[in-house]
């Protein structure tokens, strides 16, 4: 039993050591890649220097490596070794325990890569006295744990990133570069070291709270304000309690932008209100005119009603006869329908008819026949289609079996004009449904959308029916 227990302990220790070595191997490989890029692809020639694949960074005490008691790499300090390569941020940031990196006083060139943002655990970064160039990446301001940042004596250009976002920064040295633009508003009460002298900064110096003197700003000919001797112009000097000019201009631009959006929204709303009111007025005028005509027709029909009782005659709103409209004598084609089984053309002409509406291509009448349901007769004029084609179309419509398609009861065709007879629909026309006088605009809109959807479904069904 004791032998089995010892065997289990031994295997566990072997697995633990293997797991630990696998982690160190990844860290070691990242360090070696970083060193090779830093040394322009060269490996160290001195075996005592370390930094090779046959030794351990902590146990073999590589030069410049500082480890914790748990054998994790905490610092990499490679200063004054004449390195001429570039900074490989991807490799060095892959060492998760590293908090201090110092490669100052070398000849490292190139730009600081944006991948430096992966080194979020860094507290100290010293890259001063090298040959770095280009702009500092904006991602540098996301190293929230950074305490000290030394970048002086390089060839950096452009404006500084938003470094004041690093709330715990206590040291920032950037003298002897070629930075330009205005100095960001650091929390100078928290800074212990600060120097941006001998650059190309311009504009007023922010409020320093009395922390730093003019030696931190020398060599910037376009800087002004305290602690320098050259005072800022009245328009440039920052006033206490008031935002700087740049901030005020941004606020003004933002206000103007919002005002513009509001004006555009108001114009759109007024346009739609105008269109709705215009449509309501137009519908009202059209309805009033139609109602007036209908009333006049009813009055005429009433005055002539005795003639209708004594014999077949028509009112002023009856369908015009062949003499008035130029219709030639032709037979009315009655389709197979029990509603108008014995309907004749002369019956339509003589029956009282009420004008229901006028369109671009024709007129619609409501015809009242004795002993039958009311009919709707569409009178079409100036339609350049042959009688044979018209007949085929009517027969095709008659074969359509759909709840939203009114069946054709009968039709008449001549060269001048044509008649189509339907069963009268009590709910009114599609125009009145869409342009009625309902004051509930939201309800009207929902109803209109529903009607349009039904029409679209009907159109799709008709196309499918025609294709089949």
Contact (Cβ atoms closer than 8 angstroms) between residue 330 and residue 345? yes
**Residues 141, 80 share a domain:** yes
pLDDT for the residue numbered 127:
95
User: What's the mean pLDDT in 383-403?
Assistant: 79
Neighbours of 333 (CB within 10 A): 18
Domain count, the chain: 3
**Residues 80, 99 share a domain:** yes
**Picking from 45-54, 154-163, 450-459, which range would have the lowest pLDDT averaged per residue?**
450-459
Q: Taking 90 as the threshold, does the pLDDT of residue 364 lie above it? A: no
119: burial class by Cβ within 10 Å (0-12, 13-18, 19+)? buried
> pLDDT tens-digit profile of 69-122?
888 899 999 999 889 999 999 999 999 999 999 999 999 999 999 999 999 999
Q: Taking 60 as the threshold, does the pLDDT of residue 283 lie above it? A: yes
List, in order, residues 6 or more apart from 142 with CB less than 8 Å away: 117, 120, 165
Does residue 305 sit in helix, strand or coil? Answer: helix
Most confident of 127-141, 304-318, 362-376, 427-441: 127-141
User: What's the mean pLDDT in 285-304?
Assistant: 55
Kindly state whether residue 442 falls inside one of the protein's structural domains. no
Q: Which domain holds residue 46?
A: 30-233
User: What's the mean pLDDT in 252-271?
Assistant: 89
**Residues 375, 296 share a domain:** no
**Residues 329, 215 share a domain:** no
> pLDDT tens-digit profile of 38-71?
888 887 877 788 888 888 888 888 888 999 888 8
Q: Taking 90 as the threshold, does the pLDDT of residue 410 lie above it? A: no
- What are the distances in angstroms from CA 183 to CA 144, 158, 161? 20, 12, 10
Q: Taking 60 as the threshold, does the pLDDT of residue 362 lie above it? A: yes
The closest alpha carbon to 33, from 94, 76, 82, 107, belongs to 94
pLDDT for the residue numbered 361:
72
List, in order, residues 6 or more apart from 134 with CB less than 8 Å away: 110, 111, 112, 156, 157, 158
**Residues 264, 196 share a domain:** no
Instruction: Take residue 202 and report the two structure tokens written for it.
Output: 């311009």
User: What's the mean pLDDT in 365-373?
Assistant: 78
Give me the sheet containing 375-381, strands edge to edge.
333-334, 408-413, 417-423, 375-381, 362-367, 353-358
Identify the CATH number of the domain in which residue 406 sits. 3.30.200.20
Most confident of 179-183, 276-280, 316-320: 179-183
pLDDT for the residue numbered 3:
53
Peptide linkage before 389 cis (omega within 30 of 0): no
Question: How many helices (DSSP H) and strands (DSSP E) are in the chain?
Answer: 9, 19
Does residue 317 sit in helix, strand or coil? Answer: coil
Most confident of 85-89, 257-261, 401-405: 85-89
């Amino acid at each position: 039993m004791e032998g089995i227990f010892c065997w289990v302990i031994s295997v566990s220790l072997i697995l633990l050591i293997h797991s630990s070595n696998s982690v160190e191997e990844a860290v070691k490989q990242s360090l070696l890649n970083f060193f090779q890029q830093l040394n322009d692809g060269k490996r160290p020639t001195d075996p005592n220097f370390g930094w090779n694949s046959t030794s351990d960074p902590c146990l073999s005490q590589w030069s410049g490596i500082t480890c914790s008691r748990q054998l994790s790499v905490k610092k990499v300090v490679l200063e004054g070794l004449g390195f001429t390569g570039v900074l490989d941020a991807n490799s060095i940031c892959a060492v998760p325990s590293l908090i201090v990196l110092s490669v100052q006083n070398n000849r490292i060139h190139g730009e600081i890569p944006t991948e430096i943002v992966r080194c979020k655990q860094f507290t100290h970064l010293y890259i001063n006295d090298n040959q770095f160039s280009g702009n500092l990446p904006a991602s540098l301001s996301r190293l929230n744990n950074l305490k000290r940042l030394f970048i002086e004596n390089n060839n950096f250009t452009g404006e500084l990133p938003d470094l004041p976002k690093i709330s715990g920064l206590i040291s920032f040295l950037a003298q002897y570069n070629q930075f330009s633009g205005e100095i960001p508003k650091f929390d100078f009460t928290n800074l212990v070291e600060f120097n941006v002298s001998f650059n190309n900064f311009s504009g007023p110096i922010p409020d320093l709270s009395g922390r730093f003197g003019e030696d931190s700003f020398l060599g910037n000919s376009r800087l002004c304000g305290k602690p320098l001797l050259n005072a800022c112009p009245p328009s440039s000097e920052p006033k206490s309690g008031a935002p700087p000019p740049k901030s005020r201009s941004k606020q003004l631009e933002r206000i103007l932008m919002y005002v513009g959006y509001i004006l555009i929204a108001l114009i759109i709303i007024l346009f739609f209100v105008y269109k709705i009111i215009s449509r309501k007025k137009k519908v009202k005028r059209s309805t009033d005119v139609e109602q007036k005509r209908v009333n006049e027709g009813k009055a005429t029909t009433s005055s002539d009603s005795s003639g209708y009782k004594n014999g077949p005659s028509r009112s002023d709103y009856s369908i015009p006869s062949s003499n008035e409209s130029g219709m030639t004598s032709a037979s009315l084609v009655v389709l197979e329908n029990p509603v108008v089984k014995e309907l004749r053309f002369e019956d339509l002409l003589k029956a009282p008819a009420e004008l229901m509406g006028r369109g671009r291509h024709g007129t619609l009448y409501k015809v009242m026949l004795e002993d039958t349901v009311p009919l709707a007769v569409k009178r079409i004029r100036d339609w350049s289609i042959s009688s044979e084609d018209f007949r085929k179309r009517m027969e095709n419509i008659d074969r359509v079996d759909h709840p939203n398609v009114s069946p054709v009861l009968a039709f008449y065709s001549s060269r001048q004009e044509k008649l189509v007879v339907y069963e009268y629909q009590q709910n009114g026309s599609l125009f009145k449904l869409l342009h009625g006088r309902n004051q509930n605009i939201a309800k009207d809109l929902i109803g209109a959308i529903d009607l349009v959807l039904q029409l679209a479904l009907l159109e799709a069904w008709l196309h499918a029916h025609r294709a089949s």
